[in-house]
A = this chain, B = another copy of it.
Amino acid sequence: MSQSPAPRRTLGRPARISREQVIATARRIVDADGVDRLTMRRLATEIGTTPMALYHHVRNKDELLVALLDDYAERALRRPELPGDPRGRVLAAAAAIHEALAACPWITEVLTADDLMSTSALWFVEQILDGLIACGLTPDRAVHGYRAIWYFTAGEIIVRTTATRRRTDDDRPTYRERVFADVDPDELPRLAQAAGRWAALTAEDTYLDGLQALLDGLLAAH
């Protein structure tokens, strides 16, 4: 009758907090107050433990952020209806990744990881690879093509989000504005010509155009 209740097979002091709990609480903080307010100390007190205890469940803050991105991708990356033609599949998969990432701009510091290798993103990578191969690329070239698409996508997100971030927490004239003011129209006529419209032009979302151009170029190269 009095069997040992669920015989504990784990050695050592039992854990009071779990990695899942850490990540979930971190997510709550980020959702509520933004990623800037996520500190290990606050996370610890909200969980009811000490900062260093967290380090038994995440290796460091960076890994925690990666885990957050993973967690986010798991929920936000819903697999869309993909078109039948392979080119369209590649576009749709890449656009879906881009859309999900653009929606949570706090991951910039994490995004510089090698690949977007969240488990839940793998399906999208698979679609891109498969689409590229169906378009006639060799498997090896398809991997390179995926990388190129990833460079472009990650670069767009990173550059765009940090640009807007700097613009918000800084009201002095932009570095850009100062630079443009110095442009000599005789020496740099195209820049001088574009100077007035630069801000407006770079504010436009041209990700899809660029993605299509890149993809067309990749496919045209056989």
Binding site for B on A (CB under 8 A): 66, 108, 112-115, 117-119, 122-123, 125-126, 129-130, 133, 139-140, 142-145, 147-148, 150-156, 158-159, 162-163, 166, 174-176, 179, 182-183, 187-191, 193-194, 197-198, 201-202, 204, 206, 209-210, 212-218, 220-221
Contacts and interface: CB of A to CB of B under 8 A. Distances in A.
Contacts of A122: 179, 183, 188, 191
Contacts of A221: 209, 212-213, 216
Contacts of A182: 119
15 contacts: A113-B159, A113-B162, A114-B163, A115-B159, A117-B179, A118-B179, A123-B188, A148-B213, A151-B152, A151-B159, A152-B152, A212-B217, A214-B214, A216-B216, A216-B220
Contacts of A190: 126, 129-130, 133, 139, 142
B148 A214 contact: yes
- Most B CB contacts (10 A, CB to CB) among A130, A139, A175 go to A175
A124 B142 CA distance: 30
A56 to B, nearest CB: 15
Contacts of A188: 122-123, 126
Given A126-B188, A193-B139, A148 B217 contact: no
Contact of A155 (B126, B158, B191, B213): B158
Nearest to A183: B122
Given A114-B176, A179-B117, A202-B114, A197 B143 contact: yes
Contacts of A139: 190, 193-194
A97 B197 CA distance: 24
A4 B219 CA distance: 73
Contacts of A174: 114
A143 B191 CA distance: 9
